[in-house]
Amino acid sequence: MDIPDQTTVTRDLDAKGITYKFFKHAGQVHSLEQAARERGQRPEQIIRSILFRLHDEEFVMVLVAGPSQISWPRLREHLGISRMTMASPEDVMKMTGYPTGALSPFGLPQPIRILVDRSVFEEEEISIGSGVRNSTVILNRIELLHALGTVEMGDFLDHPSQDNK
């Protein structure tokens, strides 16, 4: 598998002076659990970046930790909208320049509103998409916060006892 040593994400992090480790998986990654195991992490340390379509050309990226599920009602309430969909793989590539499975909030070709679930900052060390499949950047939560800059935080996770879908 030919994964470059530098990606749009790592160049953006380098430009911001962020300390990170670039990690390449030996083969294809098929699950969150496999990715965590190969990185020497727990699934909760992996930050997933998920792109949602709000309107025709309006998108929002939500960062969540691990296998947690996003609460659509909480997210819609936070955004003040009644309808949204997950972005298609084509929309993800068009809006971010990254394929699904490698999505990152860094090095984007155009500004996208980014929401961060509080769970993202619960772990000391985390990993996040590098912009290239089967690789990641590993950094500590403080470096992630510096790299993100001003963030829009919230509680966007599904808590079955509290949410009615």
CATH of the domain at 78: 3.90.960.10
Integer Cα distance of 97 and 107 in angstroms = 9
Report which of 2, 26, 8 is spatially closest to residue 98, judged by C-alpha positions.
Answer: 8
Walk along the chain (165 residues) and give the pLDDT tens digit of each residue: 566 678 999 999 999 999 999 999 999 999 999 999 999 999 999 999 999 999 888 999 999 999 989 999 999 999 999 999 999 999 999 999 999 989 999 999 999 999 999 999 999 999 999 999 999 999 999 999 999 988 899 999 987 654 444
Beta bridge partners of 59: 53
Distance (Å) of CA 16 to CA 9, 63, 139, 147, 154: 11, 20, 13, 7, 25
Cα torsion 50, 71, 127, 14: sign = positive
Longest CA span, the chain: 45
- Per residue, the 3-state secondary structure of 43-98, as one string, reads HHHEEEEEEEECCCCCEEEEEEECCCCECHHHHHHHHCCCCCEECCHHHHHHHHCC
Report the residue count for the chain.
165
Q: Is residue 58 part of a domain?
A: yes
Q: Is residue 37 part of a domain?
A: yes
Per DSSP bridges, beta strands 47-53 and 85-86 are antiparallel
pLDDT score for 151: 83
pTM: 0.91
End-to-end CA distance of the chain: 42
Structural domain includes residue 15 = yes
Specify the number of domains making up the chain. 1
Residue 165: the pLDDT is 43
Q: Is residue 76 included in any domain, yes or no?
A: yes
Burial of residue 44 (number of CB atoms within 10 Å: 0-12, 13-18, 19+): middle
Full residue range of the structural domain in which residue 23 is found = 8-154
Q: What angle do CA 58, 114, 28 make, to 5 degrees?
A: 100
Q: Is residue 123 in some structural domain?
A: yes
Q: Is 2 contained in some domain?
A: no
Is 148 among the domain residues? yes
3 within some domain: no
What pLDDT, on a 0 to 100 scale, did the predictor assign at position 163? Answer: 44
